[in-house]
A = this chain, B = another copy of it.
Amino acid sequence: MGSAFRHHLEPQTGIAFELEKGRTLRVIDPAGEQVSDIVAFASAGPGRANASEWLSSGRTIDYNNTIYLTTGHVLYSNRSNPMLTILEDRVGTHDFLLTPCSPETFEMLYEDHHGYHPSCFENLTQNLERFGVGGDEIPTTFNVFMNVEVLPSGEIAIGTPLSKPGDFIDLRAEMNLVVGITACSAEKSNNRSLKPIDLKVFG
């Protein structure tokens, strides 16, 4: 991957790639109000992930003492190692509670659902397969721009993403990583309109 890597994720698609320690991944919402699910694994050398060390929502929420990760926060692995640091964040509202949308998500939560539906889970598994990561190894994703509120009752309220066109978040790799990332496929999380996501790696 060159130092000026850029990628345009069409709506309801995903990609996986290696991200070297020290480089920064910018996730851009070009049209606004679009979620992007991210997962990361430690690298096991060129072209291979170590699926045993994975981005952990539980460790991250625990160590940062908040469900809203933003500038300055570190995202941790299940082994309590820093994986990614949020260097800049133009939105400030992202989710780390919920799993990527999957075929079962649409069956269980979408009343008007019939037949096949693209999903972040499928887009992650298909792209991570060549790095040696299976679907059962995908944990709770860091859902960039996803607007999830926890009400005092404990109830979850999924709102329209607060991201405006061009807003972004910068994530610096703190170890060599394999990263999977999507333009989210779930209508309810994206104000009923599925849009692209732009990626840039620099530094």
Within the oligomer, what is the number of copies of this chain? 2
B contact residues around A109 at 8 Å (CB):
62-63
Of A49-57, A162-170, A177-185, the stretch lying at the interface with chain B is: A49-57
Partner of A136, one of B52, B59, B66, B134: B52
A155 within 8 A of B: yes
Contact A62 B155 (CB under 8 A): no
Contact B153 A58 (CB under 8 A): no
Given the interface contacts A139-B139, A150-B150, does A156 sit within 8 Å of B57 by beta carbon? no
Partner of A98, one of B58, B104, B136, B156: B58
Q: How far is the CB of A49 from chain B (nearest CB, A)?
A: 13
Question: Can you offer 11 A-B residue contacts whose CB atoms are under 8 A?
Answer: A56-B140, A57-B97, A58-B140, A62-B97, A62-B98, A62-B109, A65-B156, A78-B99, A80-B108, A139-B139, A150-B150
